[in-house]
Structure 1
Amino acid sequence: MAPTTHKTIKLNQCRISPTGDDDLTEKSLPLTLFDVQWLNFHPLHRVLFYEYPCSTTHFANTIVPNLKKSLSLTLNHYFPLAGNLLYPLNSGTPVLRYRAGDSVRLTIAECNRVSDFYNLSGHQTREADEFYNYVPQLPDSIIESGWEIIPVLAIQVTLFPECGICIGITSDHVVGDASSIADFINAWGSINKFGGDEQFLDGKCKPFYDRSVVKDLSGLAIKRWNHVRMRKNIDLSPVSGFSIPTNRVRATHVLTRDDIAKLKVFLFTKFTLMRPNLVHLSSFTIASSLAWTCLVKSESACREKIDDDEPEYFAFLADARSRSNPPLPPTYFGNCLASGFIVESTHGRLKGNEGFLIAAELIGELIRKKANDKNEIFKGAEDWMSNYEALSGKRVFGVAESTKIDIYDADYGWGRPKKFESVFIDRDRYSMSLIKSRDFEGGLEIGLSLPMILMDAFAGFFADGLKK
């Protein structure tokens, strides 16, 4: 799916298999209780822009061959990404499988408007549709021997001549969460930068694949698979309801360490007087509370009247690797996200003068009670899927990516990325990406995709929020 205005020229497409493909035996990974819930989810599009003046000749003769070689080496360590999701059409359970000959489709492209690089890699308001020129689509699935065989990764590398390079990565959520995909991106960058995988191996960053470490005493994986299988007969395609034009714009708002510290003091002062037991005021809590209330106020200011008692929901995930009992290795590859984090308020409360405090209390308390307690985080796990499905059609604001991951560490030998974007947040009603800031140590970047009128209003409320 691409915008109607094409500014990129696809130079060629190729398939990249892991190095030593003939020596790799067939490998498979069962889906855990964390993976199954992402079956039939929409593709995840991410882009990284690198400011790196480069001629077309140097790109074709040096950059591209190096990227192909390093990608092949990287896939040797991240074999599930070169494989496929096998989805049973009749009996059986889904599985991730790699076998000799499997590969990743790599598209090489060039943008004929260099000015787009500086526009798209900024923080300012930009047309959301333009980013789809730089992300690939996953190859079509095929039917074979009672299975639907579904590719899980596609990559596009686009040159902006004498200006920069964009790497676009599309993945199926079922193969891995943000942490796993970021590990792959960083590994590929390191291997490309150093011309081999020695540094990667020395850093003890190899992905961990042993699924036996994920304890599923209640058989939730099978229960969720049965649920998903029944839903598949009801639901439309996972990309249904999404099309271009999106009629949205994207913008990034930055919270510096000083901004966060000032807002934390403001909240502590308020809560000391009113709610002295509230203690969890992390950067995530502060950024999420501010963004949620700014969005609610923006909708109130720009749209038809919304009843004050209309429910508003904030939903987020928590990395469960360190929170599992026993903990999983930080390099565990796959999905490992606890999903039972939903807070509810009303439109009237959140748009009011105390909205920021109310949001911070709700989010902070939920994190304090659940995310930081290994005995609590998985309580109610059997209801995670149904609870999220119950939010369909309601006023929900969600979070993508993670403040624990530094995607700006992904250096391919061209320096740190100039800009990272989670393109896939266009597909949600409204959500934000939340990542570590590139330019401010201890800061955060809030990425948004909204209609222009809402984005303009949000910017005003956000600026006012920083004056507290």
Structure 2
Amino acid sequence: MAKPASLKVVEVCRVAPTPETTTSDAASETSLPLTFFDLLWVRFPPVERLFFYEFPHPPSSFFDSLLPKLKNSLSRTLHHFLPLAGNVIWPPHSSKPFIHYVSGDGVSLTIAESDADFNHLSGSDFSEAEESRRLVPHLVVSDEKAAVMSLQITLFPNSGFSVGIATHHATMDGKSSTLFMKSWAYVCSNLEESSSLSSIPANLKPSFDRSVMIDPSVIADRFANFWLKQGGPDNRSLISWDLNKTDQGELIRGTFELLPSNIQKLKKSAESKLNKKVHLSTFAVTCAHVWNCLVKAEQTKREKVLFIFSVDCRSRLDPPIPSSYFGNCIGAAKAEAETKNMLGDDGFMFALEAIIEALKRLENEAILSVAETWISDMETFGLTETYRTFSTAGSPRFEVYSNDFGWGRPKKVEIVSIDKTGAFALSESRNGDGGIEIGLVLKKSQMEDFSALFVKGLSALSSCS
């Protein structure tokens, strides 16, 4: 049996925002309220992402050159993302939790060194789920406060390094955390060209303006009251729910890809079977294929299956809010199907039609009119024995493979936290060819079954080319 890879922690430090040299100092104290979009996620597990970068150089190059640049640029970037250096708190005098930053706060940064096989972890082969988990940082959370973000940089000597990020879900969605990573990468890759903290493109500057988030029905209060009653009364604990109690040692992490040709065949096959003219998006056919394969691989016993997916609401609000708005601004759409239909030969079409109907409802409903039901839906679908719920994380629109810190694009990006949530992850293909990358964490037998179904479903479309 191969010797387990070792991980050595070299340093744990706190990186504070760099004060602006042209003004007196960074803010000494500031607070940022959580909106109803944020409060939905108060006790959900942290969102964890991992970026792998090739760096075939000796450790001395990493510690003498690369690491100082990453630290320097991180401090400079935090100047624009001040709340990320703070904590979520829920003091007795406040009806809702909020983000609080005081001078001296900073982001926890762990520096580690691993003798694991970099090429194996950054490739597409199956790996044990816990191998990636060791590369993401621990987000410190207690009853009284929770860190907004933590980071870990791990060196694989003479091969590469990884950047792991853990974020509190109540403080930002995937689009916002990606905005931070892109900003950090930009600052790092341009350190030599500019010494000014303000030299960051307008499209990478976050907007923390909460006045754009209109809440006429006071949904935020209802969400906060819901959390107060969980394990309450008046339970202000910020400890996260444990959504997946499966032993990490039983889980396998896998990466799959739909090529552009696969996507076109899925669309063409679906168009030939639909009785109506419908625009078929890449997202819809991708999720339908994955959802169908998951149901069959698991041989779900529950009567119905539910697929919940997130939708960016920034452009859907009335009036729309800036694309650079930082926080959570995602709504939930629900696709529902009978399990027996999904297990049949036409499972893909039943899945696709359910997703099409969910997207249609989304277009016809005002976000605020359905937001009030999100908490009750979470209780209903999470506790009932009728439904088996599936979900997705990430988005191909985030363009995570564009994050270049100055040493090249990532070799691989994965959402590690799907081992806690059970979701499947989506991103654009690392090849930049218009394909879609899918990340999964399943038990070994289920992963093998899913893999066979995934390939078989695509092979059956060969006649549609």
Q: Name the SS of the counterpart of 1:42 in structure 2.
A: coil
1:122-141 equivalences under 5 Å are 122-141=123-142
Q: Name the SS of the counterpart of 1:380 in structure 2.
A: helix
Match of 1:449 among 441, 444, 455: 441
Distance in 2 between residues matched to 1:16 and 1:459, nearest whole Å? 42
Structure 2 equivalent of residue 218 of structure 1: 217
1:198-217 equivalences under 5 Å are 201-217=200-216
CA contact (8 A) 1:280 1:367 kept: no
CA contact (8 A) 2:128 2:251 kept: yes
Q: Name the SS of the counterpart of 1:98 in structure 2.
A: strand
Distance in 2 between residues matched to 1:89 and 1:456, nearest whole Å? 50
Question: How far does the alpha carbon of each residue in 1:291-341 deviate from its partner, in whole angstroms, 9 at most, with x for none?
Answer: 0100111122xxxxx55x7211111110101111111111100000112x1
Q: Name the SS of the counterpart of 1:77 in structure 2.
A: coil
Distance in 1 between residues matched to 2:199 and 2:282, nearest whole Å? 30
Match of 2:251 among 214, 224, 248: 248
CA contact (8 A) 2:76 2:197 kept: no
Residue identity (%): 37
Query: In structure 2, do the counterparts of structure 1 residues 140 and 365 end up closer, same or farther at CA, with 3 Å as the change threshold?
Result: closer
CA contact (8 A) 2:113 2:154 kept: yes
Q: Name the SS of the counterpart of 2:381 in structure 1.
A: coil
Question: How far does the alpha carbon of each residue in 1:175-218 deviate from its partner, in whole angstroms, 9 at most, with x for none?
Answer: 10000000101111111111156796234321011111111110
Deviation at 1:92, TM superposition (A): 3.1
Distance in 2 between residues matched to 1:311 and 1:404, nearest whole Å? 30
Structure 2 equivalent of residue 77 of structure 1: 80
Q: Unpaired runs of 5+ in structure 1?
A: 143-147, 301-305
1:36-75 equivalences under 5 Å are 36-75=39-78
Query: In structure 2, do the counterparts of structure 1 residues 380 and 139 end up closer, same or farther at CA, with 3 Å as the change threshold?
Result: closer
CA contact (8 A) 1:83 1:102 kept: yes
Structure 1 equivalent of residue 354 of structure 2: 362
Match of 1:343 among 326, 335, 342: 335
Q: State the AA in 2 paired with 1:174.
A: A
Query: In structure 2, do the counterparts of structure 1 residues 200 and 389 end up closer, same or farther at CA, with 3 Å as the change threshold?
Result: farther
Question: How far does the alpha carbon of each residue in 1:57-88 deviate from its partner, in whole angstroms, 9 at most, with x for none?
Answer: 11111111111110000000011110111122
Q: Unpaired runs of 5+ in structure 2?
A: none
**Given the alignment of the two structures, is residue 381 of structure 1 paired with residue 398 of structure 2, yes or no?**
no
- Aligned alpha-carbon RMSD (Å): 2.1
Q: Which runs of 4+ in 1 moved over 6 A?
A: none
Structure 1 equivalent of residue 415 of structure 2: 422
Distance in 1 between residues matched to 2:90 and 2:206, nearest whole Å? 24
1:52-451 equivalences under 5 Å are 52-89=55-92, 91-113=94-116, 116-141=117-142, 148-195=144-191, 196=194, 201-233=200-232, 237-240=239-242, 242=245, 244-271=247-274, 275-277=275-277, 279-300=278-299, 307=301, 310-339=303-332, 341-370=333-362, 372-373=363-364, 375-393=365-383, 394-428=387-421, 430-451=422-443
Distance in 1 between residues matched to 2:446 and 2:360, nearest whole Å? 32
TM-score (norm 2): 0.91
Question: How far does the alpha carbon of each residue in 1:125-154 deviate from its partner, in whole angstroms, 9 at most, with x for none?
Answer: 111011122111013548xxxxx2321111
Q: State the AA in 2 paired with 1:166.
A: S
Query: In structure 2, do the counterparts of structure 1 residues 442 and 378 end up closer, same or farther at CA, with 3 Å as the change threshold?
Result: farther
Distance in 1 between residues matched to 2:131 and 2:100, nearest whole Å? 34
